[in-house]
Structure 1
Amino acid sequence: MQQVRAVVARAQGAPVEIAMINVPDPGPGEAVVKVLTCGVCHTDLHYREGGINDEFPFLLGHEASGIVESVGPDVTGVAPGDFVVLNWRAVCGECRACKRGDLHYCFATHNAKQKMTLADGPDAGTELSPALGIGAFAEKTLVAAGQCTKVDPAARPAAVGLLGCGVMAGIGAAINTGAVGRGRSIAVIGCGGVGVAAVAGAALAGASPIIAVDIDARKLERAKAMGATHTVDSSVTDPVEEIKRICAETYDGADGADVVVEAVGRPETWKQAFYARDLAGTLVLVGVPTPDMKVPDIPLIDVFGRGGALKSSWYGDCLPSRDFPMLVDLYLQGRLDLDAFVSEEIGLGDVEAAFARMHGGDVLRSVVVL
């Protein structure tokens, strides 16, 4: 058992705080990881606001890189000293999805069985709920060994750690879920970290045109820097009509984009994405809605008549053991600019301020460096 500093959300809506926590020695199938970096993701804010569940207190943080410090019995996939990116899809290998070869749809992904706990104060011993089963706003964390994905140690930790959630979600939404590629067009509605990552993924895959849509000029500029061929300010321009116009200029007869990625998670933008598709086009929802949101009122004949596919992208439909090393290699080759996603490096005590900057749209990612 070790005691380390960590960022804890004790109650819904309350500011996060630094607390001492207990990290157990790893048991069977588990690993203790010394955290090097962890990105501040909007999902962490969802946890703090009670938007995920009410299992407070939460140990926040999940977009992380680190060094494996120790492993439990029977762990063979990673060893002490390995540089890893943490993931929240430790596949079981035994469920129906895994047995048919669809490991990225594993029905029984798992986390560490032991619980980290608060170490001091009147609630010492209280079990913590780690964000997405990781809890990496901490000097060290306990995870399932399958949540550790080995990558090239030459990579910058602050950059490649972001593959642990948002960047992978966006790239995967475009490439894995949307199956975008050469000869296909894509529009991305919402250009925060996930949306800009979808733009980057589309550029990697050779899509054209790549249309970025947002109401914030700063976000549109970031999208352009990551490969968007066109930008649309939807605060002044109808994005559906503009997407259709741009695609028709590129492909004669096109009536929208082949793939539209919705990276906001709101009914209004989902509806825009629905109608911005070409016939038989694909809509990919990767923005996370709140539980109260409903599918917008769309005539069923429009769903039937436009054809295509309406998909949700969970973690970019990624398989970490396959996708993380590949994307890190592309980064080291200079073909994927993960450094561009790191807006600032901060300390553990700066997470609450980073949440405020996230609301203002000033950053793609604040990254805690330990």
Structure 2
Amino acid sequence: MVYKVKGVVALSKGAPVTLETILVPDPGPGEALVDILTSGVCHTDLHYKLGGINDDFPFLLGHEATGVVSAVGEGVTNVVPGDRVILNWRAVCGNCRACNKGQAQYCFNTANATSKMTLEDGTVLSPALGIGAFIEKTVVAAGQCTKVDPDVDPAAVGLLGCGVMAGIGAAINTGGVKRGDTVAVIGCGGVGAAAIAGAALAGATTVIAVDRDPKKFAAALALGATHTVDSSVEDAVVAIQNLTGGFGADVVIDAVGRPETYKQAFYARDLAGTVVLVGVPTPEMTLDLPLLDVFGRGGSLKSSWYGDCLPSRDFPMLVELYKQGKLDLDAFVSERITINDIEAAFTKMGEGSVLRSVVEF
């Protein structure tokens, strides 16, 4: 059976998104058909629209989603129709060299659905991060479905599907933030705000929020920041050092992903501190650092893909912390919108006026 549904598509580089009729097939072997409930508008979707990921247009945008499984293909055992799920883009294979080392969070052979969604004229769509969730129904690899408690707000927990998980994981999983640590987060958008929440959750006693837009500091402070630095009016490196006894932070998280902010992170850490890059750079960006400074400062320089998360482990745990009132996922939902409002949501994202716009179906 083929389902005709409405979805949001980026037809060409930089063009406004359009609402199109999309043909969605029944799930094939190892796949699941999911009725979407909510989908966050993530900066990665904007990257796709602008051609910052690749040129495989047209893209079916959306990936930060919750839904209900409506059908499964042959061989699927991890979910059944009726299950509430958060979608993820790390469906681990269980057989690659990372999985065989017990490091499935780095799986080198993650799965996507092979069944194709198309426009009415047969044009094959490229689903964002192998998901494509700005749509009423989508087909994904079954491993991209993580079953969660249905008695929680789907708009809030769905943000674990990408941005919030990326930020929390950058602090806890990649950065290894511990009780008593000092942490600085450069960039206080959705991912940066989540990194602040993650650092606070891990027990950091000093959490410094750095941004050029002071309007973002209210949310940062509500989520656990202890200090703020407006880098448009003061030197962020000096400010972070002054707030950490002159040493620099134990962990500095770059949630922007630009050479300038990475250098700030590099020089704002303690001598044996850790830098975590979780902001996504664009293909043309390069970094120039004196190699002697890299050698002389020690510590760790890390990149964080998806917060080094393992969805089957991390999503249920974080949902439980949300239910217990220890993780305020509601704070990330700035507005609830319809599928017709996504282009406007991209504008608000660029203005820095929202943490997340969430599409509700």
TM-score (norm 1): 0.97
Name the CA distance, whole Å, in 1 between partners of 2:186 and 2:14: 28
Which residue in the other structure is 1:209 paired with?
A: 206
Cα offset, 1:221, TM superposition = 1.5
Could you list the runs of 4 or more consecutive aligned residues of structure 1 that deviate by over 6 angstroms after TM superposition? none
Amino acid at match of 2:279: G
Give the equivalent residue in structure 1 for 2:35: 34
- Within 5 Å, give how 1:58-69 maps onto structure 2: 58-69=59-70
CA deviation vs aligned residue, 1:203-238 (integer Å, no higher than 9, x gap): 100002000000111111210110000110111111
Is 1:266–2:258 an aligned residue pair?
yes
How far residue 281 of structure 1 moved from its aligned partner, in angstroms, is 0.3
Corresponding residue for residue 346 of structure 2: 355
What pairs with 1:74-153 in structure 2 (closer than 5 Å)? 74-119=75-120, 124-153=121-150
Aligned to 2:195: 198
- Looking at structure 1, the residues matched to 71 and 25 of structure 2 have their Cα atoms a distance apart, in angstroms, of 11
Matched with 1:294 is: 286
Letter paired with 2:199: A
1:10-25 matches, cutoff 5 A? 10-25=11-26
How far did 1:257 drift? 0.3
Sequence identity percentage:
72
The alignment yields a C-alpha RMSD, in angstroms, of 0.6
1:305 aligns to what? Answer: 296
**For 2:178 and 2:226, how far apart are their aligned partners in 1?**
15
Question: Which of 315, 322, 340 matches 1:331?
Answer: 322
1:235 pairs with one of 232, 236, 239: 232
How far residue 298 of structure 1 moved from its aligned partner, in angstroms, is 2.0
* One-letter amino acid of the structure 2 residue matched with residue 299 of structure 1: P
The answer for unaligned runs of 5 or more in structure 1 is: 249-253
Matched residues in 1 for 2:353 and 2:217: separation?
12
Tell me if 1:256 matches 2:248: yes
Q: Take 1:301 and 1:53, find their aligned partners in 2: how far apart are those partners?
A: 35
Name the CA distance, whole Å, in 2 between partners of 1:238 and 1:45. Answer: 29
Task: Spell out, residue by residue over 1:26-60, the C-alpha distance to the aligned partner (whole angstroms, 9 max, x if none).
Answer: 11000000000000001101101111111111000
User: For residues 279 and 152 of structure 2, what CA distance do their matches in structure 1 show?
Assistant: 28
Letter in 1 for 2:219: R
Find the residue that maps to 1:335 and give its secondary structure: coil
Structure 1 residue 181, shift from structure 2 partner = 1.3
The whole-number CA distance in structure 2 between the counterparts of 1:128 and 1:331 is: 35
Partner residue in 2 for 1:183: 180
Q: 2: distance between equivalents of 1:170 and 1:105?
A: 17
> 1:183, CA displacement in angstroms?
2.0
TM-superposed deviation, 1:193: 0.2
Instruction: Tell me how far apart the structure 2 counterparts of residues 300 and 256 of structure 1 sit (CA, whole Å).
Output: 20
Give the Cα–Cα distance (whole angstroms) in 1 for the partners of residues 205 and 298 of structure 2: 22
Cα offset, 1:314, TM superposition: 0.2
Structure 1 distance, partners of 2:341, 2:83, is: 28
Distance (Å, rounded) in 1 between the aligned partners of 2:349 and 2:227: 24
- Structure 1 distance, partners of 2:272, 2:348, is 39
Structure-1 separation of matches of 2:291 and 2:349? 37
SS at match of 2:244: helix
The match for 1:275 is 267
Report the residue type matching 2:283 in the other structure. P
Q: Within 1, Cα distance between the matches of 2:9 and 2:187?
A: 29
Q: Partner amino acid for 1:137? A: F
Deviations 1:72-129 (A, max 9, x none): 011000000000000000000110000110000000001001110012xxxx111000
Shift in Å at residue 202 of structure 1?
0.5
**What SS does the aligned partner of 2:325 have?**
coil
* Matching residue's letter, 2:271: L
Determine whether 1:314 maps to 2:308.
Answer: no
1:155 match: secondary structure: coil
Aligned partners of 2:308, 2:235: CA distance in 1, in Å? 30
CA distance in 1, matches of 2:188, 2:142: 33
Q: Which amino acid aligns with 1:12?
A: K
Q: Which of 155, 180, 199 pairs up with 1:158? A: 155
Secondary structure, in 3 states, of the residue corresponding to 1:247? coil
